[in-house]
Amino acid sequence: MQTPSMTETGHQLPTALEPRNPGMALDLDWVRSAQANTSAIERRAMTLPGRRSVKKDYQAAWLCRAIACIDLTTLAGDDTEERVRRLCAKARQPVRAGLLDRLGMTGLTTGAVCVYHDMVPTAVDALHGSGIPVAAVSTGFPAGLSPFHLRLAEIGESVKAGAEEIDIVITRRHVLQGNWQALFEEMQAFREACGDAHVKAILATGELGTLRNVARASLVCMMAGADFIKTSTGKESVNATLPVSLVMIRAIRDYYQRTGYRVGYKPAGGISKAKDALVYLSLMKDELGDRWLQPDMFRFGASSLLGDIERQLEHHVTGHYSASYRHAMA
């Protein structure tokens, strides 16, 4: 695994402009032909942590890339404006300046800040001038079972408040019942309500029953115009896993090969260690290539991950591990 240079890992560096995925007509033959060999996928996933090993400067560079791809998230019932402002400050300066100087890094920020709708104005204000987008969870997050017109209205309100990215949740029963037309129409309506804001479709894969369902739901959401597909809300009992990621990433590859449009990927929930971030980055590189290692194509939905990455970077620079409380998120 080659390393990106330290000066190429920051969020604000330009990437090739990508046309948004416009979607396409629902192709039920393609959807129903999607299969998933669970045993083979699980065997492949088990080998992933040991297939790539990066050390020293290479590891530091890849961890900086991981930071640039984090959607720094707070989705707690006790969120306050002050907590969100502190989180936004962390997004602007995810690693203390002294460490970045030693690493030769400049301009490193997280990929976005993700909050509930009520905190969007606070986050937009706190991030003004940084170039860091605000992502809002929407459509009755996390269950997605509020009245449909209210879910659409919620998207509109978040966009109006300044959110540039909207993380929507699909209706899981559409997948469990194989009602692909209903899922397609729902996703189309969400995409239209988002307007210019990019939409991430949360599949809640831990509640979809099978990997085959995950593959088919991924395709339908992309056909309906999703800019990203995302594993989980982080609130399910099972969130991002490597087998699920393999299925979703290969659906993205299949969609790109057939349509020419790139769709992003966001694993979320349960990714809290730097070593896990490295596994996901290597998986993206192996399966989709370097273009999907940019923040506009790949994100981690995480809160505690950044703290562990910062600890690893400090160890790289000083040779010593620091206590986790020295790297608080907010």
Residue 5's pLDDT is 44
pLDDT per position as a tens digit, 189-217: 999 999 999 999 999 999 999 999 999 99
The CATH number given to whatever domain includes residue 157 is 3.20.20.70
**First CA to last CA across the chain, in angstroms?**
33
Report d(CA 240, CA 268) in Å as an integer: 6
Residue 133's pLDDT is: 98
With respect to residue 325, please indicate whether it lies within any of the assigned structural domains. no
Positions marked catalytic: 167, 230, 266
| pLDDT score for 208 | 97
pLDDT recorded at residue 329: 62
Would you say residue 253 lies in a domain?
Answer: yes
Could you read off the pLDDT of 142-171 as tens digits, one per residue?
999 999 999 999 999 999 999 999 999 999
CA distance 170 to 141: 9
| C-alpha span between 127 and 98 (Å, rounded) | 22
In a domain, 50, yes or no: no
Segments forming the whole domain that contains residue 94:
24-45+55-317
Mean pLDDT by 10 residues, the chain (330 residues): 43 60 98 97 91 84 97 96 97 93 92 98 98 97 97 98 98 98 98 98 97 98 98 94 97 98 96 95 96 97 93 90 69
Distance CA 258, CA 261 (A): 8
Q: Number of folded domains in the chain? A: 1
Can you give the pLDDT at residue 55?
84
Instruction: Look at residue 213 and tell me if it is in a domain.
Output: yes
**Is 232 a member of any domain?**
yes
pLDDT of residue 330: 53
Task: Note every long-range contact of 13-21, with CB atoms under 8 Å and residues 24 or more positions apart, other chains counting.
Answer: 13/107, 15/294, 15/295, 15/296, 16/291, 18/262, 18/296, 18/297, 19/261, 20/198, 20/225, 20/227, 20/261, 21/222, 21/225, 21/226, 21/227, 21/259, 21/261, 21/262, 21/263
Q: Is position 2 within any domain?
A: no
